A and B are shown apart, each in its own frame.
Chain A
Amino acid sequence: MTLPVGAGAFPRSLSLDIPADATFMATARLFASAAGRTLRLSEERVQDLKVVLSEICASGVDRGHGHISIAVEWDGEQVSVEGRGAGDLQASGEPDDAAAHRWRLLQSLVSVTSCVREADGTTTIQFEIPR
């Protein structure tokens, strides 16, 4: 985890680099918990963040990418999560396979909170921090 120095009482960005290996899924969730609590997200949003980071990592593992980089940023209004190495999160294959569930889950989470952007294997998911 990288914590920027001199960013004020709360860091504006946090990042995590892990191998695209399923054994590191729990590490991503620990990072999500730490990031969410550092940013003072509600417990429900921390749980959402854990789901999103876990899905980003699972997508990277499924697609055999060697490395996953996750960045969580806060602009004072929204939390922005960027996952590099996650591949294309768009569902493909059978409607009941894990990729389809992943896509449906992320779409639903994002519709509850904010938006998803994808380009060249980079996925950005934004959460609004509840007031």
Chain B
Amino acid sequence: MDLFLASRTRGNWTVVEVAGELDLYTSPTLRDDVVSRIDEGTRHLAVDLSRVTFMDSSTLGVLVACLKRMREKGGDITLVGVDGSPMKVLMLTGLDRVFTLAPSLDALPDV
């Protein structure tokens, strides 16, 4: 299944919208996109996963690496709309307590 990525700004947030399935094959595309935004100076990044139907451990590795990179630069990554199997994967690995989670884009705080 193809992975769809798009981005937009919402207030002071940069939102990366992801749709499709994230695995060993597709997650490097997300990593490259997020890393480039961090390196370009984005510090409030929301990754909208509400249309992601599958997520595996390689995706967790990508997300954690991006989060570390962002926090080293004083920013943060919020995962938005995680639900279903991807949320179960986050919870089983305890990473739901590591990431800032928001149920929807409307729930993002003002920054």
Contacts and interface: CB of A to CB of B under 8 A. Distances in A.
A51 B87 CA distance: 12
**Interface range on chain A (Cβ under 8 Å from partner):** 20 to 34
B93 A29 contact: no
A109 B24 contact: no
A29 B54 contact: yes
Interface in A85-118: 96-99, 101-102, 104-105, 108-109, 112
A105 B92 contact: yes
Contact of B23 (A54, A104, A105): A54
Q: Name B's interface SS.
A: helix
Interface string A1-39: 000000000000000000000110110010000000000
Contacts of A104: 57, 92-94
A51 B24 CA distance: 12
Contacts of B25: 22-23, 25-26
Contact of B60 (A50, A54, A62, A101): A101
B85 A102 contact: no
In order of increasing CB-CB distance, the 7 nearest A-B pairs are A98-B61, A108-B92, A102-B57, A22-B25, A101-B57, A47-B85, A101-B60
Given A26-B25, A50-B54, 16 more contacts: A22-B24, A22-B25, A25-B23, A25-B25, A50-B85, A51-B54, A96-B64, A96-B68, A97-B61, A98-B58, A99-B57, A101-B60, A101-B64, A102-B56, A104-B92, A105-B56
Interface of B: 1, 21, 23-25, 54, 56-58, 60-61, 64-65, 68, 84-85, 88-89, 92-95
